[in-house]
Structure 1
Amino acid sequence: MQVSKYLKQYRIPFSGLSAGKHEFDFEIDDKFFDCYAHSLVKKGKLDAKVDLQKQENMLVVNFHIYGIIQLSCDVCLADFDAPLDFEERALVKFTDEDWESNTEEVLVLSKTDYELDIAELLYEYINVRVPYYSKCTEQGVNLSCDPEMLAKINVDSTEEQEDNNEEKIDPRWDILKNIKNN
């Protein structure tokens, strides 16, 4: 499977559309995330409802993305399903000039372009929603961290504290302590 061929299904051919509102549905699955090597999300099952409002020299694109992505808990390392449900908006302007300055919300296309590729937008919108710190109990639904893993973490941390307490002081530092007493 070629990456570019798979992502072609996330293109909206707007040139033949009449002015007004148009609705599109897209499914986002593991194959979508496989197309992006550095994606924070590797697995998921999402739906994207895209409302495209076509106007004379611009497009207003509203996204409603919902479903489940798989995250790894930063505490117990277990994989868990985290629900996502959010909305985003993008404006697409048309120009004859060579204008390379897209912003976060405004995309610029040439007047000769005939389709809008939303794959990159979907990828960014989903990956931005990945929390900085993932935890089963916070992002998962009715989940708790793996008790076996938590027990191992607690045993390791108490052993580490005991090792730090038993640590011998270097004799060179003992001699320096005597300087303070003079």
Structure 2
Amino acid sequence: MNYLKQYRIPFSGLAAGNHDFEFEIGDKFFDCYEHSLVKKGNLNAQVSLQKQETMLIVTFHIQGTIQLTCDVCLNDFDAPTDFEERVIVKFVQEEWADDSEDDDVIVLKKTDYELDIATLLYDYINVRVPYYTKCSEQGLNITCDPEMLARISNEEQQSSEITEETIDPRWAALMNIKNN
């Protein structure tokens, strides 16, 4: 987890106003999270921090590629991603801090001096992974592996032939009811 220390923004010494930061997100970042949907990637996060007296407004612009596995042909492919997110960080008195976080609001104590954005980056990237990945839909100029597709269709044909041959005659009568 020492690797993730570079994804902290020390805001206590910053003057009020806008401040820009840039972070590289690679394979080592995703290795720090055991159950990550994304295992490899090459991303650039541009973070804009607007410091005010009682809060921070943090805007993330993340772009690059993440490696996904096709659900059809099981090939790994690079999928481009480009999105923006925003979070508000509120400062409260120490006795009022209750560690309750909203999706868009993070509560910090007035004594805190840095913002750890590693978990935010991880969450934002993993939420962008589609439920169903397919080379031709998420990849750039990529199609599914034709050899694997041929194998799949061959297996489907063989399994349908086997099921037709081994149908119990009692079930065959029920199949006729379904077709009416």
Q: Is the 8 A contact 2:8 2:116 kept in 1?
A: yes
Partner SS, residue 155 of structure 1: helix
The C-alpha deviation readout for 1:17-70, integer Å capped at 9, x for no partner, is: 000000000000000000000000000000000000000000000000000000
Amino acid paired to 1:38: H
- The equivalent residue for 2:87 is 90
Runs of 4+ in 1 over 2 A off after TM superposition: none
- The equivalent residue for 1:60 is 57
Aligned residues: 171
Structure 1, 90-99 or 43-52: larger mean CA deviation: 90-99
Whole-Å Cα distance in 1 between the matches of residues 91 and 42 of structure 2?
Answer: 33
Whole-Å Cα distance in 2 between the matches of residues 16 and 168 of structure 1?
Answer: 76
- The equivalent residue for 2:164 is 165
Aligned pair 1:37/2:39, yes or no? no
Larger radius of gyration: 1
Whole-Å Cα distance in 2 between the matches of residues 165 and 29 of structure 1?
Answer: 50
- The equivalent residue for 1:22 is 19
Structure 1, 160-169 or 142-151: larger mean CA deviation: 160-169
RMSD between aligned residues: 1.3
Whole-Å Cα distance in 1 between the matches of residues 167 and 36 of structure 2?
Answer: 46
Amino acid paired to 1:98: A
Whole-Å Cα distance in 1 between the matches of residues 124 and 56 of structure 2?
Answer: 18
Amino acid paired to 1:65: I
Partner SS, residue 157 of structure 1: helix
Whole-Å Cα distance in 1 between the matches of residues 115 and 61 of structure 2?
Answer: 17
Percent sequence identity is 64
- The equivalent residue for 1:46 is 43
Provide TM-score, normalisation by structure 1.
0.91
Structure 1, unaligned stretches of length 5 or more?
178-182
Amino acid paired to 1:135: K
The C-alpha deviation readout for 1:99-143, integer Å capped at 9, x for no partner, is: 221010000000000000000000000000000000000000000
Whole-Å Cα distance in 2 between the matches of residues 120 and 149 of structure 1?
Answer: 37
Alignment of 1:1-182 (within 5 A): 3=1, 5-96=2-93, 97-169=96-168, 173=170
**1:168 shift after superposition:** 3.6
Structure 2, unaligned stretches of length 5 or more?
175-180
